[in-house]
């Protein structure tokens, strides 16, 4: 089975994705920052490498572990470095470039609601609170789309660390907004990896019961 390389697996969506993929016996490789606690991932059978997404060399070394065969990449990397640089942009640009150079299979980048064509529909409050990081994620999406035509972008709404509801949906309506639990985002990403109909597309990810839209909500028919 082709391995999945996850960047951002120490916590949140990336961790839950590693857990779901290991349950399905998919080999998982995860790059964690030096010193980050890897015990929970190791207990799941995840192969750990150490590195920083700001370092193209570290990202290349991680992808080399996937071998010469087919492999997939998922990044949930976000946040800022000590120097103020956005990992949301520079880290994910490194990951996309390295994945493109090695001929990645599926490439899934977890960004945020409000990215890309959703930007004009953001509230003033959302722009004030997270506008800069969402704009950085948009620049990463645009770059990844240029270097990996089949890249898929998953844009979660506000994230909650509560148990899965099983009610996560994907939507390509740029006006949708709402919340979703991290476990449900992970489930959607695992299904996206198995569904070729999602290649080359961008979707908001929200909980059907915690979503709002001026239009009728029509979930993308994602394979189970």
- Give the residue with the Cβ less far from ligand NAP, 8 or 174: 8
Q: How many other β-carbons are positioned within 10 Å of the β-carbon of residue 63?
A: 22
26 binds ligand NAP per the rule CB under 6 A: no
Q: Which of 11, 49, 150, 165 binds ligand NAP (CB under 6 A)?
A: 11
- Give the residue with the Cβ less far from ligand NAP, 36 or 147: 36
CB of 29 closer than 8 Å to CB of 74: no
Q: Which residues does residue 153 pair with via DSSP β-bridges, in sequence order?
A: 109, 202
Residues 185-224 that bind ligand NAP (CB under 6 A): none
- Give the residue with the Cβ less far from ligand NAP, 100 or 206: 206
33 binds ligand NAP per the rule CB under 6 A: yes
CB burial of 180-216 (b: ≥16 within 10 Å; e: otherwise) equals bbbbbbbbbbbbbbebeebeeebbbbbbbebbebeee
Q: What number of chain residues touch ligand NAP (CB under 6 A)?
A: 24
- Give the residue with the Cβ less far from ligand NAP, 68 or 169: 169
CB of 104 closer than 8 Å to CB of 93: no
Q: Which of 27, 105, 116, 158 binds ligand NAP (CB under 6 A)?
A: 158
From the list 49, 65, 144, 138, the residue with the least C-alpha distance to 100 is 144
- Give the residue with the Cβ less far from ligand NAP, 68 or 209: 209
Residues 85-114 that bind ligand NAP (CB under 6 A): 87, 91, 110, 112-113
CA angle 172, 78, 148 (to 5 degrees): 55
Residues in contact with ligand NAP by CB under 6 A are: 8, 10-14, 33, 36, 52-54, 76-79, 87, 91, 110, 112-113, 156, 158-159, 182
């Amino acid at each position: 089975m082709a391995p999945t390389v996850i960047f951002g697996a120490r916590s949140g969506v990336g961790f839950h994705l590693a857990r779901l993929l290991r349950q399905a016996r998919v080999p998982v490789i995860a790059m964690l920052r030096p010193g980050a606690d890897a015990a929970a991932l190791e207990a799941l059978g995840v192969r750990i490498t150490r590195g920083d997404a700001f370092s193209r060399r570290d990202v290349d070394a991680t992808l080399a572990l996937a071998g010469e065969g087919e492999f997939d990449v998922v990044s949930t990397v976000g946040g800022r470095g000590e120097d103020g640089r956005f990992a949301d942009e520079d880290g994910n640009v490194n990951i996309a470039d390295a994945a493109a150079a090695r001929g990645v299979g599926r490439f899934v980048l977890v960004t945020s609601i409000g990215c890309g064509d959703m930007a004009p529909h953001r509230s003033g409050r959302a722009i004030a609170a997270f506008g800069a990081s969402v704009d950085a994620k948009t620049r990463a999406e645009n770059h990844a789309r240029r270097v990996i035509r089949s890249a898929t972008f998953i844009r979660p709404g506000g994230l909650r660390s509560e148990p899965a509801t099983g009610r996560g949906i994907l939507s390509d309506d740029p006006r949708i907004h709402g919340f979703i639990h991290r476990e449900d985002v992970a489930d959607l990403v695992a299904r996206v990896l198995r569904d070729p109909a999602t290649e080359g597309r961008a979707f908001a990810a929200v909980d059907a019961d915690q979503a709002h839209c001026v239009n009728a909500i029509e979930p993308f028919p994602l394979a189970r």
